[in-house]
Amino acid sequence: MQSFPGRPTTPVAPEVVIVGGGSIGCSIAYQLALDGVRSLILERDYLAAGASGVAAGMLAPQVEAPFDDPFFDLTLAGRKSHGPLAAALYEDVGLDVECRATGILRVALDEADRVELQRRQRWQTARGLRADWLESEQLGECEPLLNGVAGRLLAGGLWLPDEGQVRSPRLVQALAAASVKRGAMVVEGSWAVGFERRGDRISGVRTPQGIVSAETVVLAAGVWSTDLAQTIGLDLPVGPVKGQILTLRAIQQTPRTVIWSGECYLVPRVDGQVILGATEEDGNYDRRPTLAGIGSLSEAALEFLPAVGQFTIEGIWAGLRPAAPDRYPIVGRAPGFENLILATAHYRNGILLGPLTGRWISQLIRSGVVAPEFAPFGPERFISSGH
Ligand code: GLY
């Protein structure tokens, strides 16, 4: 291996090179470190510079799921994984990733919303999950901002008390710090530009500073994974679904819980910051926020919660969610390659599913075993081995 400027380095060559320092890459490095495998993260920018740094960090399988399927099972398991992870990271590196079960209140804007949300409540409670229907006049008991007229103008809401949130950029930092503590290496500002290939093996990752070799390579570069895969003839169908958010602050009226209207969500953080998110812009690679994006979010929030109009704006952000055509993750060994693993396309669930993805990938690398719950989300659904 070449030596790199960056932090921190060790003289020991990594067993695994991970391309991408977001939620997925850092979760994989962390789990590998726990399992005693040395890895190196190559990040072209800085940790959490992409979608992970913009993510609102909701742990929200129930509010996101239109129906019950194997992916819903995965996301529930993902939600469960965060509490113990947050505790372990705090113990390990002293960073509080603010993992909390604040609940999510999904409000119904109209009768059609009400019917759909009550349908979801039925199948979720039949599965033994907590999902309570609140009539308009009860919304204020759950979320004081919806007391009075604001709540009464809505058509009720679905209260999901077990949904939660985590502070995404800090989670990525904590995962990286805990990995480094156990011998992982992180190199920021070094982007992978291609792979060195020998037959069906990847022998190294090409960077402007030189070639990094490793026994296994993991491609976890979010939406940028596609370009890298292309350099070895892999057609990875992952594209961007841009999301814009605003970070707001309210002196007196910070929401108590996450409020979600279908058009937008408000996520209150521990320090009083409130995230208003997020747009869904399919196929847009431009990472800059736009007036139209921010305008549509503001309009959607003000429509059902006029009090938001008094919140002050602290920042505007945009990120590119990596998405496959079916909107499910692509996680597993790249067909036709012995030692290349793909871990991308987590779309709206990169924070939620990071820890589980880390566990699965570590298991795959160490034992070659594909976890059954992860089998439906393999790359072979898009890529044949004879590519
Ligand atoms: N998970 C929420 C979002 O992607 O906007």
Q: Could you tell me if 279 and 156 lie in one domain?
A: no
Does 60 reside within a domain?
A: no
> In the structure encoding, which two tokens stand for residue 371, read together?
């976890």
Q: How far is the CA of 55 from the centre of ligand 1 (A)?
A: 6
The chain-wide mean pLDDT, for the chain, equals 94
How many alpha carbons lie under 13 Å from residue 53 in its C-beta half-sphere? 16
* Beta-carbon count within 10 A of 259 CB: 26
What gap in Å lies between CA 244 and CA 147, rounded to an integer? 28
Counting the structural domains of the chain, the total is 3
Q: How far is the CA of 210 from the centre of ligand 1 (A)?
A: 36
Q: Could you tell me if 255 and 151 lie in one domain?
A: no
Does 211 reside within a domain?
A: yes
Is residue 158's pLDDT more than 60? yes
Q: How far is the CA of 268 from the centre of ligand 1 (A)?
A: 15
Among candidate residues 320, 335, 361, the one where a domain is terminated: 320
What gap in Å lies between CA 278 and CA 116, rounded to an integer? 21
Q: Could you tell me if 274 and 223 lie in one domain?
A: no
Q: Could you tell me if 149 and 193 lie in one domain?
A: no
Q: Could you tell me if 132 and 271 lie in one domain?
A: no
Question: Cis before residue 307, ω within 30 degrees of 0?
Answer: no
| Res 151: pLDDT | 87
Q: How far is the CA of 244 from the centre of ligand 1 (A)?
A: 10
Residue nearest to atom 5 of ligand 1 (CA): 278
- For the stretch 234-287, pLDDT in tens is 999 999 999 999 999 998 889 999 999 999 999 999 999 999 999 999 999 999
Does 116 reside within a domain?
A: yes
Dihedral of alpha carbons 176, 178, 180, 185, sign: negative
| Res 12: pLDDT | 67
| Res 5: pLDDT | 45
- For the stretch 336-365, pLDDT in tens is 999 999 999 999 999 999 999 999 999 999
For the CA of 321, the closest atom of ligand 1 is: 4
Q: Could you tell me if 312 and 262 lie in one domain?
A: yes
Residue 191: band (very low, low, confident or very high) from pLDDT cuts 50, 70, 90: confident
Does 51 reside within a domain?
A: yes
Residue nearest to atom 4 of ligand 1 (CA): 348
Q: Could you tell me if 179 and 306 lie in one domain?
A: no
Q: Name the residue with higher pLDDT: 29 or 252.
A: 29
Q: Could you tell me if 364 and 230 lie in one domain?
A: yes
Q: Which of 62, 347, 348 to mutate to test the pocket of ligand 1 (most atoms within 8 A of CB)?
A: 348
- For the stretch 133-149, pLDDT in tens is 999 999 999 999 999 88
Does 77 reside within a domain?
A: no
Q: Which of 58, 246, 279 to mutate to test the pocket of ligand 1 (most atoms within 8 A of CB)?
A: 58
Angle between the N-to-C axes of helices 23-34 and 168-181, in degrees from 0 to 180, rounded to the nearest 10:
30
First to last CA, the chain: 29
Domain of 293, CATH number, reads: 3.30.9.10
Q: Could you tell me if 354 and 231 lie in one domain?
A: yes
Q: Could you tell me if 367 and 313 lie in one domain?
A: no
Domain that holds residue 20: 16-55+169-238+326-381
Q: How far is the CA of 58 from the centre of ligand 1 (A)?
A: 7
Does 69 reside within a domain?
A: no
Is residue 226's pLDDT more than 90? yes
Residue 37: band (very low, low, confident or very high) from pLDDT cuts 50, 70, 90: very high
Contact 133, 118 (CB under 8 A): yes
For the CA of 351, the closest atom of ligand 1 is: 1
Q: How far is the CA of 117 from the centre of ligand 1 (A)?
A: 18
Residue 386: band (very low, low, confident or very high) from pLDDT cuts 50, 70, 90: low
Pairing of strands 312-323, 239-249: antiparallel
| Res 2: pLDDT | 40
Q: How far is the CA of 227 from the centre of ligand 1 (A)?
A: 24
Report CA 340 to chain centroid distance, whole Å. Answer: 22
Among candidate residues 320, 340, 364, the one where a domain is terminated: 320
Residues near ligand 1 (Cβ within 6 A)? 56, 58, 243, 277-278, 321, 348
| Res 384: pLDDT | 83
Does 306 reside within a domain?
A: yes
Domain of 361, CATH number, reads: 3.50.50.60
Does 68 reside within a domain?
A: no
Contact 85, 174 (CB under 8 A): no
Q: Could you tell me if 174 and 43 lie in one domain?
A: yes
Among candidate residues 161, 182, 200, the one where a domain is terminated: 161
Q: Could you tell me if 46 and 154 lie in one domain?
A: no
Residue whose tokens read 């890298």: 228
Residue nearest to atom 1 of ligand 1 (CA): 348
- For the stretch 116-132, pLDDT in tens is 999 999 999 999 999 99
